[in-house]
């Protein structure tokens, strides 16, 4: 029987999950556009910024996840983290160079990762159990695309070629993030299952990286490795996605194409978590990767609106479903009471490795990309469709790994909700 979650939990999850994802969408998808449009950044600049942010996110999540475990409280880290996170976003209104953007991105990432990646994600793990994590993760994984939709819709009212628009954007997003943090002081409940840990700090910090722990939790680390490969595929193209639609394909109003795809993908994924609870990991990840591969293939050969929409729909659906199923499986496999300690291992698989390798592959692919001359005489690169092919090859490698992994286990070792309950 599924454990019933309170309405207070669902409201808290919705508010903090959504605001966190809106802030990350601005960072992950629009900081790239910001330095591209304002400072004529190169593919190397964008790659460096993404990689630096990924490293900071991983280091922060490892350390602050342990700290929140030792304290035995998540609420203060979430709420005050969101407040300072919002203030750091406002600071971008005053930045006037690529170098300062990269530095400030790392500062902002520290507070965002403390609040969201470490504390909030550990809180989700604390509050749920194996009977409801598919639904929790289905809703949680839907939020990134809904956040994209919100940001796309909101940004339509701004001229992103004008600096004044960026100033307004940073003030709006930063202030909203601060407001959510303040709201959380009155809204969030601590998990009754969580208690302070007296384990030495360094022992806790290194716990999830000990060979003995890895041996005891082999399924978890294999899943993290496959999740990393999934993320690498996404990060090959994601830093350049908006630039690709707007500049390469000439879709100046790219929101008209992407918004319906995002809505439909988000709706589909909202129900996908229930399928995970019933059918388990392998069936669901197979469905997600099928959608992703079809999307990559269609986008590689398409340049007109309808095929690009269909390809975007499949790509976004596969991406979101994959995040949902990998996320749910990882939460199920994390030992109870050590959610914070394992957030570091999770973030390495989900953010650090993809955030370094994926953009690096993308930058290499785009070394000889075509260029355009801007109105002010500066030169900018144009991302090309080769990104989709390289992303596809990585997914093919992941499919092979999943097949071999599935074949190596007997019935008692299979992934899935039923096995975990047993």
Q: Render pLDDT for 349-378 as a digit per residue (tens, 0 to 9).
A: 888 899 899 999 998 998 888 887 777 666
Q: For residues 51 and 359, is the Cβ–Cβ distance under 8 A? A: yes
Count of structural domains within the chain: 1
401-416 pLDDT, tens digit each: 888 777 655 444 444 4
Residue 306 belongs to domain spanning: 7-187+202-421
Residue 141 inside a domain? The answer is: yes
Element (DSSP H or E) covering residue 379: strand 379-381
Closest C-alpha to 122, from 110, 131, 113? 113
Residue 100's pLDDT is: 94
Residue 409: CATH number of its domain: 1.20.1250.20
Amino acid 416: pLDDT? 43
* Residue at token pair 């957030």: 343
Q: How many CB atoms lie within 10 A of CB 323?
A: 25
* 128 falls within a domain: yes
What's the CA dihedral at 225, 231, 232, 238 to 10 degrees?
-170
User: Can you give the pTM of this predicted structure?
Assistant: 0.76
pLDDT at 129: 67
**Dihedral angle at the C-alpha atoms of 335, 337, 339, 342, nearest 10 degrees?**
-60
136 lies in a domain? yes
Q: Cα separation of 374 and 63, whole Å?
A: 43
Find out whether 57 and 352 touch, Cβ atoms under 8 Å. Answer: yes
User: What is the model's pLDDT at position 271?
Assistant: 72
Residue 192 lies in a domain: no
Please list the ranges in the chain whose pLDDT falls under 50. 410-422
Whole-number Å distance between alpha carbons of 235 and 55 = 14
CA 36 to chain CA centroid, nearest Å? 22
CA distance 377 to 393: 37
Residue 194 maps to a domain? no
* Assigned domain for 1 exists: no
Helices of type H across 74-217: 75-90, 98-112, 121-127, 133-155, 163-187, 201-206, 211-216
407 within some domain? yes
- Looking at residue 109, its pLDDT comes to 94
The pLDDT, as a whole number, for residue 294 is 96
């Amino acid at each position: 029987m599924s454990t019933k979650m309170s309405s207070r939990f669902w409201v808290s999850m919705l508010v903090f999950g959504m605001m966190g994802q809106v802030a990350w969408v601005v960072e992950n998808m629009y900081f790239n556009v910001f330095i591209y449009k304002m400072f004529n950044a190169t593919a190397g600049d964008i790659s460096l910024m993404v990689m630096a942010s990924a490293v900071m996110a991983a280091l922060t999540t490892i350390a602050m996840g342990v700290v929140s475990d030792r304290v035995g409280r998540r609420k203060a880290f979430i709420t005050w983290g969101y407040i300072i996170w919002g203030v750091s976003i406002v600071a971008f209104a005053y930045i006037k160079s690529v170098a300062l953007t990269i530095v400030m991105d790392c500062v902002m990432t520290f507070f965002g990762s403390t609040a969201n990646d470490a504390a909030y994600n550990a809180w989700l793990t604390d509050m749920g159990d194996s009977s409801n994590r598919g639904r929790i993760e289905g809703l949680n994984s839907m939020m990134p695309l809904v956040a994209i939709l919100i940001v796309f819709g909101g940004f339509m009212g701004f001229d992103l070629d004008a600096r004044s628009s960026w100033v307004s954007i940073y003030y709006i997003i930063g202030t909203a993030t601060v407001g959510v943090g303040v709201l959380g002081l009155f809204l969030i409940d601590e998990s009754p299952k969580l208690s302070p840990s007296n384990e030495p700090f360094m022992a806790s910090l290194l716990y999830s990286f000990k060979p003995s722990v890895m041996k005891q939790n082999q399924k978890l680390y294999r899943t993290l490795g496959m999740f990393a490969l999934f993320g690498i595929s996404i990060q090959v193209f994601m830093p350049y996605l908006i630039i690709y639609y707007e500049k390469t394909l000439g879709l100046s109003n790219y929101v008209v194409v992407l918004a319906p795809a995002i809505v439909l993908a988000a709706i589909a994924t909202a129900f996908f978590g229930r399928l995970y609870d019933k059918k388990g990991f392998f069936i669901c990840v197979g469905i997600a990767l099928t959608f992703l591969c079809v999307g990559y293939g269609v986008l590689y050969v398409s340049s007109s609106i309808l095929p690009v929409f269909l390809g975007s729909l499949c790509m976004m659906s596969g991406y979101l479903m994959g995040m949902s199923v990998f996320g749910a499986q990882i939460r199920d496999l994390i030992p109870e009471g050590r959610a914070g300690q394992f957030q570091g291992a999770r973030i390495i698989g989900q953010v650090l490795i993809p955030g370094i390798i994926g953009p690096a592959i993308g930058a290499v692919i785009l070394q000889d990309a075509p260029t355009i001359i801007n109105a002010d005489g500066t030169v900018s690169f144009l991302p090309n469709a080769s990104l989709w092919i390289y992303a596809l090859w990585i997914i093919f490698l992941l499919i092979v790994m999943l097949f071999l992994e599935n074949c190596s286990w007997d019935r008692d070792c299979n992934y899935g909700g039923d096995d975990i309950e047993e």
